[in-house]
Amino acid sequence: MIRLQHIEKSFGGKKVLKNIDLEFRRGELTFLVGTSGAGKTTLLNLLGGLDNPTSGKVLFQGTDIAGDLPAYRGRKVGFIFQHYNLIPGLSVRDNILLGLEYADAKISPDALEAQIRNLNLKDAAQSAETLSGGEKQRTAVIRSICKQSDILLADEPTGNLDSENSERVFQLLREIRQDHYCIVVTHDEAMARKYGDRLIRLSDGTVAADEILRQTEESAPPAAGPQRKPQARRTSWRSVFMLGKNSVKRRLSRIISIALVIALAITSLVIVSALQNSGSKMSRKVNVNYLESDLISLFYPATLDYGQRELPFTQEKIAEITQKYGAKEIVPVYAGSDSWLLCTQELSCSAVIKEIALDAFFEERIMSYDITGTFPQNAGEIILAEDSAAALFGSPENAVGQTVMLQDGSGNTVTYQVCGINRTVNPFDKMYSFIAADSLYELVRQQVGYALAHRITAERFRNEPARKDATVWKSGEGVYGPFVTLTGDEQILFGKAPESTAEIMLPSSLLPYALANLQIACGQTEEEIKAGRIPQDVQEALCAVPMAINLNGLFEVKICGVYQDDRIGICGTEELADRMRQIEPVQLDVYASDEYPPDRIRTDAESGNEYTCYLQQEMLKFTVGQQTQFYRLAFILIGLILALVSLMMISSFVKIVVLERRQEIAIMKSLGATGREVLLTLWYDMVFTSLLAVAAAAVITGLTVALLPHIRAFSAMPLSYPVTGFLLLSLIFSAVICGYTLIRLRSIADKTPASLLTEQ
């Protein structure tokens, strides 16, 4: 027996049902009639567990149905709705089987086909949305009958049917009533009286009349009910996959667009990780000769002035460093430059010069590259880079045996004969031209001679060691001019003539500029200053300023006096000029041994501020970072924008899907789906989208990694598939997407079927 005890239901403070007490018996076909708004559908929803009463109880066989509404709806109740409540995209058969899934009931395929044929449905595989109104209603009836539910509830089951099909439905309900509680809402009182056993009239939320049309006795439950599992029903994964697959199929284009945006976001951020680690990967992958990971460059330590790193290394110091650090080879670098030019009589091109020693160590090392020709046999030969050879001689093959000139950008030139061609692109995405380091001795001699004859610079010198965070800078506080050797005939205005290599003397023509550039205040006119008539304290301040000449090394000097001369020049001793002409290297390229690796050399060399060191590996990583910085930033920006766009798209997609699937959710819950099953079914879309996005990202990332080396900026990088970064970012994106949608979907999964149907 079904019993309603003191049932009341309110919506927004308005009572729709008021203190309803009714009983319903098995085997009785009961019709609920009344005007619109009388409460018929609301009462039917409470009987079916589609909604909860504001107060009172609904008892089925003495048990309050509120204890487990999903089980009650699934196993005890079959619904026949006016609007059919079939799920679009599913076939007739699947719509019926879905009801059986939630009812935990079974039916043989033959029995199912028989039921379908009995109600004149021709194609069980036909999609629900393509059925006519009558076919949809008959499908809904079959779904309820096949569940073998105790209770059949029908809300205006013939409202959209013609008279013939209406008669057929009422006849069917009358035929099956014997084993069920049959309760029908209708506006057609004539049909109710024709087929019904009992008629209940509702008016303004109360029972206005309860009329017995035909005397019946309550029937006993059927001897053999549907086959059901005795334990509590588990989650129906078949229904989750059935409905999830159906939803994906219906929304595939939108899902693909969202997945592609997510995939591009993942790919962009993964590529950033790959580029970030490319320097380290390069270090691990290329051989020692190609990368020169055993190379460390030594300079004297930095001070606050520009010239600090150009102190020369004497032969004694080179021998000491070789012995101290057990170096395999040390190459003295006489004239490093970033603006080398290689020239013929007609053409010139920029070049990247690598200075080497002409010995067995470098012959084995260099000839392991892709070299055509021979190793240099003397300082007058060069292995020319392939790109330079092509620019100067049309093709590399034409270059061997030809003559080229190396210029430093200031007109100083050394001539070489081409003995080989280097076809190897180094890790810095350049091609080296190899020359003997000693061959640049002559070029430096030219540079020094030119500077002495035309312009040397004496600047204020700050000898304080530069801190790690300090900027090494060129002060510009000083004077410049050609070097003039002291003759002894100079007319001294004040001070004295130079007596050592640590002293220089200025002509009167430079005195005003020296005072101004060195920021020494003097109240005299320019004519008075040039005449040497300046106060004693100004003279002393000028002579006290520490100065340095940066030419083929760094020479610390002081101004010892001023002599009368209208010409521009810096006067010093012949010994100072000779010292500047003594060509010594200002940098050492040290090739470390396995016993004393570069890291250890740097640690020892920089302790006590003895030297400044640069490791080739670190320079490579820095160069790679510089080359790819723009691309990394671009990928980061693109990735973040796409991530934001994908989240916005997902948010909109979830909102739209929820709106579109409210009726579907209501149907699922009315058939007995639990909140968990509803949540998993709705979540299916986002899980599928995440998996599709990860799969697409895997493909796009692979294509990107394959294509990037064909771009010049990345051509030297050994990019490999960033598996770890890809997996990590994919996991993060999937977790965010699925977690976000799960939170958004929880609220709708908990709503009652009646409220969802009302919101349509």
Q: How would you list the strands of the sheet with 63-64, edge to edge?
A: 14-24, 2-11, 55-60, 63-64
Sign of CA dihedral 497, 501, 505, 511: negative
- The pLDDT tens digits for 522-554 are 888 889 888 988 999 999 999 999 998 888 777
- What would the mean pLDDT of 68-82 be, rounded to a whole number? 86
- What would the mean pLDDT of 348-369 be, rounded to a whole number? 91
736's tokens: 């965010």
- The pLDDT tens digits for 126-144 are 998 898 887 888 888 888 8
- pLDDT > 90 in the chain, percent: 34
Which is more confident, 118 or 342? 342
In the chain, domain spans = 2-234, 247-283+620-758
- Give CA–CA dist 556/71, Å, rounded: 97
At 307, phi and psi to the nearest 5?
-75, 0
- What would the mean pLDDT of 363-392 be, rounded to a whole number? 93
Q: What is the DSSP string of 385-431?
A: EHHHHHHHHSSGGGTTT-EEEEE-SSS-EEEEEEEEEE-PPPTTS--
- The pLDDT tens digits for 178-189 are 888 999 998 888
Single-letter amino acid code for the residue at 380? G
Kindly report the average pLDDT of the chain as a whole number: 84
- What would the mean pLDDT of 288-301 be, rounded to a whole number? 75
Quick one: pLDDT at residue 2?
A: 92
Which is more confident, 229 or 85? 85
Which of 288-292, 327-331, 710-714 is predicted with the least confidence, judged by mean pLDDT? 288-292
Contact 486, 329 (CB under 8 A): no
Quick one: pLDDT at residue 714?
A: 62
- Asked if residue 437 has pLDDT above 80, the reply is yes
Identify the bridge partners of residue 206 per DSSP, sorted by sequence position. Answer: 203
Q: What is the largest CA-CA distance in the chain?
A: 149
- Asked if residue 83 has pLDDT above 80, the reply is no
- The pLDDT tens digits for 453-501 are 999 999 888 776 655 554 545 556 889 999 999 999 999 999 999 999 9
Q: What is the DSSP string of 646-678?
A: HHHHHHHHHHHHHHHTHHHHHHHHHTT--HHHH
Contact 227, 106 (CB under 8 A): yes
- What would the mean pLDDT of 269-297 be, rounded to a whole number? 65
Identify the bridge partners of residue 356 per DSSP, sorted by sequence position. Answer: 436
Please work out, in degrees rounded to the nearest 5, the angle formed at the alpha carbon of residue 622 by the alpha carbons of 618 and 628: 145
- pLDDT > 70 in the chain, percent: 88
- The pLDDT tens digits for 223-245 are 444 444 445 678 889 999 999 99
- Asked if residue 594 has pLDDT above 80, the reply is yes
Quick one: pLDDT at residue 225?
A: 42
Which is more confident, 515 or 116? 515
Q: Cα 703 to the chain's mean position, in Å?
A: 16
578's tokens: 């000779």
What is the CATH code of the structural domain delimited by 2-234? 3.40.50.300
